[in-house]
Each structure stands twice: as C-alpha cells, then as structure tokens.
Structure 1
Amino acid sequence: MPRRRIGFWYRFAAMLCKPPLVVLIKRDWRGMENIPADGGFITAVNHNSHIDPFAYGHFQYNTGRVPRFLAKSGLFGKGFVGAAMRGTGQIPVYRESTDALSAFRAAIEAVERGECVAFYPEGTLTRDPDGWPMTGKTGAARVALQTRCPVIPVAQWGANEILPPYSGKPHFFPRKTHRVLAGPPVDLSRFYDREMTPELLKEATEAIMAAVTARLEEIRGEKAPAVPYDPRRERLEQRRRTQQQSHGPAAPAAVGEAVQEEGQST
C-alpha cells in the first residue's frame, strides 16, 4: 500500500516547528530502518515531557512516515487549532464512549488505510521518579490485535531534560540532545486468534511496554526497575496509608474495601 502524502497542513506545521527544534535541540536518532516503508503500523512511544510530541514528531516526520497522534476530541472543534488537527490527520479520541474498542475506531481505520498511528501507551506523562516508562494502557494492544499491524517500540530521552515532567520552566541551555531509538516490531503473534479478554490485552500491553523500556535502557545505558511504576498500585498504597493514619488498627478492613472498589472501577 502506498504511503499517504504528507499534505499541506503537515508541511505547514513542519515549517513552523522544525527551525526552533533544529536550533535548540541536538539529535541522536537511531533505528529509522525499523520504520516500515509502506502499510499501516503503530509506534508505541514513552512520554516524559510536555514537549516530547514535538521532538518525537520531528524524528517521525524525517522518516517520511508522518505520525497521526491520538488526541482529545475537543481539540478538533472550530478555530485554527481544530483546523490544524484535522488538516494534519490527527485522530480524535471520544472518551465518552462506553465501548473501549470504538474509542479507537478511527485509529483502526487509519492503520487500515496505511497510516502510522502514534500511541503513548502510558496515557499520560510518566510518574516514575526516574523517568522510566510506567505500566501501559491497552489501547495500542487493542488496535494492534484488531489490525495485526506492526508495532514499533520507540524510546526517547532528552526532551525531559529541557522541560521535566510536571514542570513549567524550560531549560534550553546548555543545548540538550534528544535521543531516539526505534526498535524492530514487537512479536505479538502469540496473541492472535484468541479471545480479546482483559487478561490477554494486559499481557500484550506488557510485551509492548517491555520492548519500549528495553530501547530506553539502551539509550540510557542502565537498567530499568524490575517492576514498572503502576499509578493504580500507587493510588491503592496512598489510600492504604490514609486509612491507616485515619483509622489505626481498623484500617485493614477499610483497605480491603478500597482495593475491591478500585478493582471494580478499572
């Protein structure tokens, strides 16, 4: 399948964004040979800075396979931002949908058209204290198993040194290096032709996140924690500590109820 033309809006966005990115950020980009030349595919990318979509987008644009990011549907309304989002082919996510798969229907259709769809599987900026990828959400795995498209794990590091997570103060100088490493496709074939249960999606997501983390270990030259940071587990621990402080010896029963309630909400 031929690759989609980049189009006016993407070229216009590149014209605006690339000059400051080139001036302010050095680049160490590897693994472009793993980006498929044709056909639809997914990139699974770690997320550690509010500006890394621009830095990663620069890398992906230079491969010739422009990324279609998933974004909140509210950004696709009227005005310049909405026109740019629609014009560059970004993908609206309708969070109000009660059907988890239909929330990603547009992503599935984009892959089937031969597009590159970029996922941040963590769903938000990492909360790991050392910037390692957290546990992932299942959206990328859902789309991958539905379409059987290649999933390219991509790790990046450096945008977080310019603008750390949850910080509003950028540090452009001294000039930082944005490092990207794209790996070979994640082998998800063992999950094909099986019922798409929550357990299966969790296992497939863990395989994707392990591949992303392995690429980041290579970039950073160090090992990631054996157990990824889990925001859900951290919430439960926080509730447990709060219950213990509030109720003392009566805490275990309350904690059990909290765990049960948390499990029912996911």
Structure 2
Amino acid sequence: MYTASWRDVVRRELFGPRPDRRDAPYRLVVRLALVVFRLLGLRFDVRGSEHVPAAGGAVVCSNHVSYLDFTFLGLAALPRRRLVRFMAKASVFGHWFAGPFMRAMQHIPVDRKAGAAAFDAAVRALKDGQVVGVFPEATISQSFTVKDLKAGAARMAIQAGVPILPAAVWGGHRVATKKRPVDLTRGRAVTVLVGEPIVAEPGETPAALLARTRAAMEALLDEAQRSYPQQPAGPEDLWWLPVHLGGTAPTLEEAAARDRDDAAGARVRARTSRRARLRARLRRRPPSAAA
C-alpha cells in the first residue's frame, strides 16, 4: 500500500528531469492533491502503471464511482511521468474557481449538445502523443457496477490509432460520491488498477472494441472490489458495496431510474434558472426600453 508522503510532495524529479514548462499548473495541482492525500491518510493500492506508455498517445477508460476518480487515476500514470488530459463536462470549465485550472491543465471540455468538438479535440491530443482519460459511463455509477458505455472512447482510439488502457478505481466513493455526504475519515483505502493495452484489430468496429473494453473494465473492477483491504463497519455501512457483493447499493436498474430522475430534475432546474434570469433582465430594463 502507498501513502503519500511530504517527501513526495516536494520531490524535485517527481515529473522527470526536464518537465514541460507548459504543464507547470498541472504539476502544481498534482502536488496539492498529494498534500490532500497525505492529510487524509489515504492508502493506495496502485497496480498496472507499467501499462501506461512512456511516450505516445493512449485512451484511459475507467469506471466512475466518485468525484475524485480523476485524481486517483492520475496516480497510476505518475510513475511513467505522464499527465492525463481528462474529458470533463463543459460546465466545470465555466466554474469561477475550477475553470481556470481545468483549462491550464489542458483537460478537454465536453458539451453534450455539441460533442463533435470535444471528440475532435481528444483525437488531436491523442495524435500529439497525449494520454486522454475518459469515463465512458458519462456519469457516476450509483450501483457501483459498470454501466452502459458511450462509444466515443473506442471511436477516438481507432481514429487516432492508439491503444485503450482499461482501468478501474474503487474506494474513492467512500470519501465523496453522488447523494452521499463527504466523509473525510482518515485512512480510507483506494484501489487503482490499469489493465493491459487493448489495440483495435484491422477493420474492427467501435462497437466490437467497446465490447472488449467493457469486459476488461468489468474484470478489473471485480478484482479491485474483491481484493479491497477494508470491509464495512456494520449493516449501516453496506451502502458502498454493490448488491452482488452483499451490499445495499442500488441495483443497475434502480440506478438507471435514479439517473433518469436526476436528468429530468436537471432539465427542470435549467428551465427555471433561464426563466429567473429572463425575469431579472426585464426588471433591470429602464421604463423607456420596456415601452
């Protein structure tokens, strides 16, 4: 098990002897993340870092169980001196605090109403030799099992001519996940597994490549769950285990229903917000303009 140390935080060659100056903001964020990991006493089991290429592009495809998954996946690439450019919701890039950091770290914004731009940006990054991180489930899985995957990751790997690295993260949902309060209890274990590269066969379709990727992700997640070193403290702590392991997390069907409810609620909130903004603008208009 690995626990971040203060020595790691300040280690000069953490990113190699001559890191790219353009990545200075990203390196700062990584060091700050290590500080947080140290303060929380997180215990990491990271396996498969050797599968991350030392150079050249690759698509990391991981399951998604917590708000912190991208920080944990970054740890798997760090021994290879690689920084992962994650695809994330465009709204994050518009946030007053997170937005400037996301842009400085060269992450890729995804506007679901105009996904082609994000796809093209990801393919360009891959062809430029970047490692691009994708959560092909699109949202956090509330069942803590692998949901249906979007085909974009397989399509971009084929178009860019790079391998897919299947991955699994487990344990971070005990700290911060959907519909649960943040829990900063020290000493939580987090498992990160990266599998062997999956290379598209000549003429292989995105659907076939996606199926192979899903199978690998499911196998890695099963291994991460079954080898996880900590157990629930009691019946009330079974929420973070999936049903097939004796937990009380929603089933895949129940989680899908929750996702639909969440999406419907988000649409209602968006419409309400637009109406509120319109009313506010009308109230601010001078009487002459209203006439």
User: Is the structural similarity TM-score above 0.5?
Assistant: yes
Aligned to 1:26: 43
Name segments (4+ residues, structure 1) moved above 4 Å: 77-80, 222-225, 229-235
Give how far 1:139 is off: 1.4
- Which ranges of structure 2 fall in alignment gaps of 5 or more residues? 1-17, 228-241, 245-250, 262-291
Aligned to 1:193: 203
Matches within 5 A, 1:137-148: 137-148=150-161
Q: Which amino acid aligns with 2:121?
A: A
Match of 2:168 among 155, 165, 177: 155
**Greater RCO (CA < 8 Å, at least 6 residues apart):** 1
Aligned to 2:62: 45
> Match of 1:47, SS?
coil
Q: Which amino acid aligns with 1:193?
A: G
Aligned to 1:254: none
Distance change (3 Å), C-alpha of 1:206 and 1:224: farther
Match of 1:106 among 121, 126, 130: 121
2:216 is the alignment partner of 1:211: yes
Give CA-to-partner distance per residue, 1:142-188, whole Å, 9 cap, x none. Answer: 11111120111111111122234431231524x11111111111242
Contact 1:67–1:117, Cα closer than 8 Å, also in 2: yes
Name which one, 1 or 2, has greater alpha-carbon Rg: 2
Q: Which amino acid aligns with 1:57?
A: G
Contact 2:126–2:132, Cα closer than 8 Å, also in 1: yes
Give how far 1:52 is off: 2.0
2:98 is the alignment partner of 1:81: yes
Q: Which amino acid aligns with 2:64?
A: H
Match of 2:131 among 116, 122, 131: 116
Give CA-to-partner distance per residue, 1:95-145, whole Å, 9 cap, x none. Answer: 222xx54441110000011000000011110132xx121121111111111
Matches within 5 A, 1:63-78: 63-77=80-94
| Paired-residue identity, % | 29
- Distance in 2 separating the partners of 1:156 and 1:138: 20
Aligned to 2:196: 184
Matches within 5 A, 1:56-67: 56-67=73-84
- Distance in 2 separating the partners of 1:67 and 1:160: 21
Q: Which amino acid aligns with 2:171?
A: G
- Distance in 2 separating the partners of 1:224 and 1:36: 35
Aligned to 2:289: none
Contact 2:47–2:76, Cα closer than 8 Å, also in 1: no
Q: Which amino acid aligns with 1:203?
A: A
> Match of 1:7, SS?
helix
Aligned to 2:29: 13
Distance change (3 Å), C-alpha of 1:15 and 1:74: same
- Distance in 1 separating the partners of 2:216 and 2:179: 25
Over aligned residues, Cα RMSD in angstroms?
3.0
Contact 1:29–1:179, Cα closer than 8 Å, also in 2: yes
Aligned to 2:141: 126
- Distance in 2 separating the partners of 1:233 and 1:123: 14
> Match of 2:50, SS?
helix
- Distance in 2 separating the partners of 1:162 and 1:234: 22
- Distance in 2 separating the partners of 1:12 and 1:209: 33
Contact 2:53–2:80, Cα closer than 8 Å, also in 1: no
